[in-house]
Structure 1
Amino acid sequence: MTDCVACGEPLTGRQRKFCGSACSKRASRAAWIEKVYGITLAEWDAIFAAQGGGCGICQRPPRPGETFHLDHEHSKGQSGPVRGILCPYCNTRLIGRLKDHTKAQLMADYLREPPATRALGRVVIAPGRPKKKRSLKRRRP
């Protein structure tokens, strides 16, 4: 009798390598992560735990059935250092649209030291839009 490659449970009947589809999916995911990113599934779990169990940017935990993305720098085509694990939104909409770290640094500098504050030498608080005057509704006789 042999055991499941992924979890070690004994195999029964016609099972050859895995005890079920969950173990098969986990093993194929582990193989893919190791092949593409060069880290093991245990290392992926360690990175995710170090981030507090959520996205590395927005800190949101994954929803049921949602798969988070392993973010890495695209400095030389597809290869580059692994940075962390992100939710799909932060990976594709935030990091993906910035393209490189220089734009992210420029954005952070802009928010920390706005050009208006440097030019005027003081912080100006915008008063906001004036509230609309409410018109009295006319009653029909």
Structure 2
Amino acid sequence: MASRECVVCAGELSGSQRKYDKPECAKRGARAEWILKTYGITLAEWDLIWEHQGRCCAICKRKPRVKEDGTEETFHLDHEHAQGQAGPVRGILCPYCNTRLVGRLKSADRAQSLADYLHTPPATVALGRVVIAPGRPRKRRVTARRKRTAARKV
């Protein structure tokens, strides 16, 4: 019988393990699948962008904070929302810059940093190509009438 390997770390699988040998590998594998499905890039390409930016936010240059459990804060992969959720991947930002900076710029230096980031996105420079993120599928809205009907059936 051939030995089976973890798809992330190549460690040996035992018993009922299907793809991953440790919970950390399962978490990294799930993240890799999500990034590929949502943004159209691999985890290796994400790491390439991250290294190209100096392992910090592309706009404010802040490094990720270390949480109490010893893990780093998760930064966001930013992309243009040209057609709904779909658009070119631009770079990796801290949560603040990604969600609140645009429209609330407080200094000319940050505004210039933002302008430089939008003109020459680190992802395009690091990868040597423009990657169009396919975006998440739209959620189907449930009307109040359907909710009431479903509640009566239960």
Matched residues, number: 102
TM-score (norm 1): 0.65
Kindly provide the amino acid, as one letter, of the partner of residue 29 in structure 1. R
How many percent of aligned residue pairs carry the same amino acid?
65
Deviates more, 1:61-70 or 1:82-91: 61-70
Residue among 66, 73, 78 paired with 2:85: 78
Kindly provide the amino acid, as one letter, of the partner of residue 61 in structure 1. K
Alignment of 1:106-117 (within 5 A): none
Kindly provide the amino acid, as one letter, of the partner of residue 50 in structure 1. H
User: Gaps (5+ residues) in structure 2?
Assistant: 67-71, 106-110, 116-154
Deviations 1:22-57 (A, max 9, x none): 100101110110111110000000001110110011
Q: Determine if the alignment matches structure 1 residue 52 to structure 2 residue 54.
A: yes
- C-alpha distance in 2 between matches for 1:50 and 1:26: 21
Q: CA deviation at 1:63?
A: 1.5
> Cα RMSD between the aligned structures?
2.2
Pick the structure with greater CA Rg.
1
Kindly provide the amino acid, as one letter, of the partner of residue 14 in structure 2. T
Q: CA deviation at 1:97?
A: 6.3
Tell me the equivalent position of 1:18: 20
Tell me the equivalent position of 1:133: none
TM-score (norm 2): 0.60
Q: Give the 4+ runs in structure 1 shifted more than 3 A.
A: 95-98
Q: Secondary structure at the match of 2:102?
A: helix
